[in-house]
A and B are shown apart, each in its own frame.
Chain A
Amino acid sequence: MNVEQAMEIRQQKILAALENKNTSVYFNDALDNQMVLNMGPQHPATHGVLRLLIKLDGETVAACVPELGYLHRGYEKLAENCSYHEFIPHTDRLDYLSPLMNNTAYVLAVEKLVGIEAPKRAQYIRVIISEMARISSHLLGIGALAMDVGALTVFTWSFREREKMYDIFELLTGARFTTSFTRVGGLAHDMTPDVIAAVKEFFDQFPEKFNECITMLNTNRIFVERLDGVGVISREKAIAMGMSGPNLRAVGLECDLRRTQPYLVYPELDFNIPVLTDGDSLSRYYVRLNEVKESVKIIRQCLEKMPQGPVHANEPKKVLPRKEQVYTRMEELIHDFMLINFGVNPPVGEVYNAVEASKGELGFYIQSRGEGHPWRLKIRSPSFMNLQSTPLLVEGGMISDIVAVLGSLDPVMGEADK
């Protein structure tokens, strides 16, 4: 099959999907009201490489078909050929706006499978880094949404704050984006006092700067009217379509896995779940905004309550030993050799563990056959399931609202395409 034939087949199938929506498409009549518009995969407002095929009737969207796969790297196939530790760096590249959150979600699933638990201090640190990742991700979500509807300043202001957070991540993990900070049964290393000081210093000034950003938006009539009542989804539909995260909480459902199915030390912390009932783009924006404030509260509590102690579980056959011990002690050298060459070898079984990531329910389903690598690893990515509702949200609306709806859904294609 040559390239032209392949393209022909692809086009026909996609157009057939548009046709299936009880509409008819005319391609030859240039003066007709109806046309098919191809948006993406290189469109700046699609947050990556999402491609939308839109059938327009005048300026109204008659049908919409999203096309994915432009960033598909086959991480699930790679996982079957990696040991459990080797897969941690790959989780950085799923939702690349909150790599620390993915690291945490993945090791929690593996720890459930192996049957170990990280010590208290490690759990507190995991909560801190997860919430910082959530703030950083929501800041981008809000900034990019504002930019999509025409308010450029907020984007640069929110990126200024994110830049400071990335400096902290670099201090903590040694990398800005590809952090790979967690390990099965603990963390790569402890949070040093200078990092804790940097986090404290950052959050001393952050609420004021964040208020500056959102005041610009909340009192901006153009911004509010571009989003108010746009892209509405009902509560029943949102649940049935598998939406999650801030998008689900914007339809009036208090469903946050941190509260409903608690993990780590979230039960010991005091925080609210922001819920709104309108289900439109503006509610989704407000839920994100309020979540940032709650995350700041969580981090402050964690810094106060965080106990001293080890950050690795005392399970020598499952947890990688410290490097300095590997070089000086025989036992640790043997364990290191066994863990690197043969892997963690969890018992035969299967687990599904989901956490409340910044985009929604991020789940890892792992099947183990007792080997050092997973037999099957499935990533339940929230962006993928949220994007599924895009046609429901944009059909019947105006073409200019598509960017506003997409921005308020806040998908990340690295995660949706895996």
Chain B
Amino acid sequence: MLTSVVDSLRSSLPDSILAVQEFRGETTVHVKKSSIVAVCTHLRDDASSLFDYCSDVCGADAYTPENRFEVIYNLYSTSLNHRIRVKTFVDESDMHCPSVTSVWPGANWPERETFDMFGVIFDGHNDLRRMYMPEEFEYHPLRKDFPMMGIPDSIPLPRK
């Protein structure tokens, strides 16, 4: 499935593809963090891909010593009607990741949400503020080491 997309990606950007996975008919392409913008631009513009619609950008915490965080892009093509998932990895020591807002302006808010929830800093994003949590909040709640019940006194509440 989607062999033409993966083949054209492999031939034009051979060094940036780390792996290609297939599960339940869905294709996931793992790419290097440094070339994520090049890959996304190729996927948007290439005639066999035409992924003009960025459904979603989200993060995940794999909780591994290396490459702890994943940034996942779920893409859709409105003209060719197919989906692909692009995944890149962010290490805890270097929380920066290039922003794809230059490719799809709609990645703006999902990237802000990922920053809010995981602390991934998107370079090139022009308005990287927290999406849901208050600005002065110090933690990133969807990280696996953040307790589900929250941390007492982490948000100052008005006095009764």
What is the interface of chain A, defined by CB distance below 8 A to chain B?
A: 1-3, 5-6, 9-10, 13-14, 17, 20, 68-69, 72, 74, 76-78, 80-81, 112-113, 115, 237, 239-243, 253, 255, 260-261, 349-352, 354, 361, 363, 365, 367, 375-376, 378, 380, 384-385, 388, 417-418
Contacts and interface: CB of A to CB of B under 8 A. Distances in A.
Given A20-B127, A351-B24, A81 B105 contact: no
B24 A113 contact: yes
A350 B26 CA distance: 9
Interface string B128-160: 011111111000011000101000000011110
27 contacts: A1-B136, A2-B156, A5-B136, A6-B134, A6-B156, A13-B135, A68-B132, A69-B131, A69-B133, A69-B134, A74-B141, A76-B142, A239-B78, A240-B52, A241-B106, A242-B54, A242-B104, A261-B83, A350-B23, A350-B28, A351-B23, A351-B26, A352-B26, A352-B74, A380-B55, A380-B74, A388-B109
A376 B60 contact: yes
Given A241-B105, A376-B61, A388-B109, 18 more contacts: A6-B156, A13-B135, A20-B127, A69-B133, A76-B142, A77-B141, A113-B24, A243-B106, A255-B78, A261-B81, A261-B83, A349-B23, A350-B85, A352-B56, A363-B56, A380-B55, A384-B109, A385-B109
Contacts of B159: 3
Interface residues of B, number: 44
Interface string B56-82: 101011000000000010100010010
B8 interface: no
Contact of A378 (B28, B58, B133, B141): B58
Interface in B91-136: 104-110, 117, 126-127, 129-136
A365 B158 contact: no
B14 to A, nearest CB: 25
Nearest to B84: A352
Contacts, number: 113
Nearest to A349: B23
Nearest to A2: B156
Contact of A81 (B129, B131, B148): B148
Given A242-B53, A349-B23, A378-B56, A10 B136 contact: yes
Contacts of B58: 365, 378, 380
A261 B58 CA distance: 22
Leading 6 A-B pairs by shortest Cβ distance:
A242-B106, A69-B132, A72-B132, A349-B23, A378-B58, A380-B56
